[in-house]
Amino acid sequence: MSSAGTVLIQGGTVVTSKRSFVADVRIEGETIIEVGPSLSDSTADQRIDASGLLILPGGVDPHVHLSRRPSLPKEACSGDDFLSGSKGALAGGVTTVGEIASPEADEGVLDTIDRVESDVRSKSLVDVFVHPVLESASRKLEQISKLPAREQPSLKVFLMNPSLAENPAGLKDAVRRAADAGVTVLFHCEALSELSAARDALLKQEMTSLRYLPESRPTSAEVRATEQAIAFCRETGATGYIVHISCAEALGPCAAARVEGLPIHTETRPEFLLLSSAHHRGEDAKLHVIIPPLREDADREALWRALVDRSIDLVATDDAAFWSKAEKLAAPDSFEALRMGISGLELLRPLLFSEGVVKGRISVERFVEATAAAAARIFGLYPKKGTIAVGSDADLVLWDPKETRTIAASDLFSRTGFTVYDGWHVTGWPRMTLRRGEIVYREGEVLASPGSGILIPRRLPSTEDE
Ligand SMILES: [Zn+2]
């Protein structure tokens, strides 16, 4: 019965989004075939001792940017790509990512997926699903209804994109096509009208320094666009997913929409839980440029509460590390010339475990839900990804809940050469990561080869339980 490639992980504590229990996990090939206490080890080809460790499902981060954004200058952006970004992901216990892929030239959403798939095949170490970006509401919209057959049923819109904001009828048509096909729509929520008004007011007073980044992208713009996104979903029947909620006021419309029965999913990012707008006025302001900007401590506290009560479903990184430290620092001190984005994949789970679980804000099961299971459910990957069960992909992380680290940019796989968490002390760190049964990271070393990650097929989202 035993064949080459059976692995037995022994003596750890298995954690899913529902419960934690001491168990062994048996893997054959790429798949988990048995989970239970004290499994027989006579047939195992390889044994891994997990005593004292947690066994977590591989992380699923549904919001990253590892393929190059066509609008960025090719010669200037020496940050991360699928290779370095996915190395960091594996080192941080994330085995699947959702790539937000912008179109090149006149690509439709299917063309974009094809192009990104070839990038994944040559470079990625993690499994990938793709949310193609709809940049124009008048171009190749017929491709939207074909996304489910391509097994990638989601797309992304940036509501402040002028070609969408100035064509609301076209945008609604696109969202309706998505709704009719069962395609989930991810919304970046900032309203162009509010951004323009804020910018004009600041320009009039010659207040263009980066220190005014928060004022240039006010919470009112986020709230307004969140309400627009929800209205589109209400009118068309689309399932909506609100990315990187940054402020307390944006939570209200989402909660109200759910009470109404609308399928609205919600995400925040680690920075909105852990950092506040003072960083936009500090010494390292240029390194902290992200969109939306950092908000106030009251917003952070509201987002933590929302994570606890599940009005926020999950935490994703928005990893978008296009610019190196030197390139970020060379930017002018102006919100008119933003070099936005930071790396996040390697530290997502260590930060959320330490600040959330160790500090008693969330349970370890909720941590697993917010960093793996929820995204897998929402995007049609569950239970293949996001849990530890018979038949699931053997994406597993052996996690030392006691290990303490001081974060240093020089220890990370990101090519950007900096992290906004430099010097933070964390408790809890991955020891080993398996992706579809293969040991891809162990004790500081990434072992997977480029292109071993795959474009992972998805079904339409289900509510299937464990
Ligand atoms: Zn993003």
Distance 296 CA to ligand 1 centre (A): 21
- Indicate the burial class of 257 (C-beta count within 10 angstroms; 0-12, 13-18, 19 or more): buried
Distance 152 CA to ligand 1 centre (A): 18
Distance 412 CA to ligand 1 centre (A): 21
Among candidate residues 156, 7, 17, the one with its CA nearest the CA of residue 466 = 17
Distance 222 CA to ligand 1 centre (A): 14
Distance 404 CA to ligand 1 centre (A): 30
Among candidate residues 67, 83, 97, the one with its CA nearest the CA of residue 125 = 83
Q: What is the pLDDT of residue 208?
A: 96
Distance 433 CA to ligand 1 centre (A): 25
Q: Are strands 184-188 and 154-158 parallel, antiparallel or unpaired?
A: parallel
Return d(Cα 13, Cα 35) in angstroms, integer: 11
Name the token pair of 176. 């309706």
> Which H or E run contains 140?
none
- Indicate the burial class of 121 (C-beta count within 10 angstroms; 0-12, 13-18, 19 or more): middle
Distance 320 CA to ligand 1 centre (A): 7
Q: What is the pLDDT of residue 427?
A: 98
Distance 344 CA to ligand 1 centre (A): 11
Distance 445 CA to ligand 1 centre (A): 28
Name the token pair of 240. 């909506």
* Sign of the dihedral defined by the CA atoms of residues 291, 292, 298, 301, in that order: negative
Return d(Cα 149, Cα 146) in angstroms, integer: 5
Q: Residues 82, 41: contact at Cβ < 8 Å?
A: no
Q: What is the pLDDT of residue 105?
A: 85
Q: What is the pLDDT of residue 2?
A: 37
Distance 322 CA to ligand 1 centre (A): 12
Q: Residues 385, 94: contact at Cβ < 8 Å?
A: no
Name the token pair of 428. 């809890």
Residue 273 is which amino acid? L
Q: What is the pLDDT of residue 50?
A: 98
Distance 443 CA to ligand 1 centre (A): 30
Distance 397 CA to ligand 1 centre (A): 25
For 322-376, what is the HEC assignment?
CCCHHHHHCCCCCCCCCCCCCCCCCCHHHHHHHHHHHCCCCCHHHHHHHHHHHHH
* Ordered structural domains, the chain, with CATH: 58-378 (3.20.20.140)
Distance 242 CA to ligand 1 centre (A): 11
Q: What is the pLDDT of residue 72?
A: 78
Distance 189 CA to ligand 1 centre (A): 11
Distance 71 CA to ligand 1 centre (A): 14
Distance 65 CA to ligand 1 centre (A): 6
User: Model-level pTM?
Assistant: 0.97
Residue 289 contacts by C-beta under 8 Å, 6 or more apart in sequence? 210, 213, 280, 328, 331, 338, 339, 340, 341
Distance 293 CA to ligand 1 centre (A): 13
Among candidate residues 55, 115, 123, 60, the one with its CA nearest the CA of residue 86 = 123
Among candidate residues 249, 413, 419, 405, the one with its CA nearest the CA of residue 328 = 419
Distance 291 CA to ligand 1 centre (A): 8
Residue 182 is which amino acid? G
Q: Residues 117, 455: contact at Cβ < 8 Å?
A: yes
Distance 56 CA to ligand 1 centre (A): 25
Residue 272 contacts by C-beta under 8 Å, 6 or more apart in sequence? 244, 245, 246, 247, 294, 295, 299, 300, 303
Distance 348 CA to ligand 1 centre (A): 15
Q: What is the pLDDT of residue 461?
A: 63
Residues lining ion ligand 1 (Cβ < 5 A) are 318
Q: Pick out the chain residues at pLDDT < 70.
A: 1-4, 75, 461-466
Distance 72 CA to ligand 1 centre (A): 14
Q: What is the pLDDT of residue 68?
A: 78
CA distances from 40 to 9, 25, 335 (A): 11, 11, 61
Distance 99 CA to ligand 1 centre (A): 9
Q: Residues 147, 181: contact at Cβ < 8 Å?
A: yes
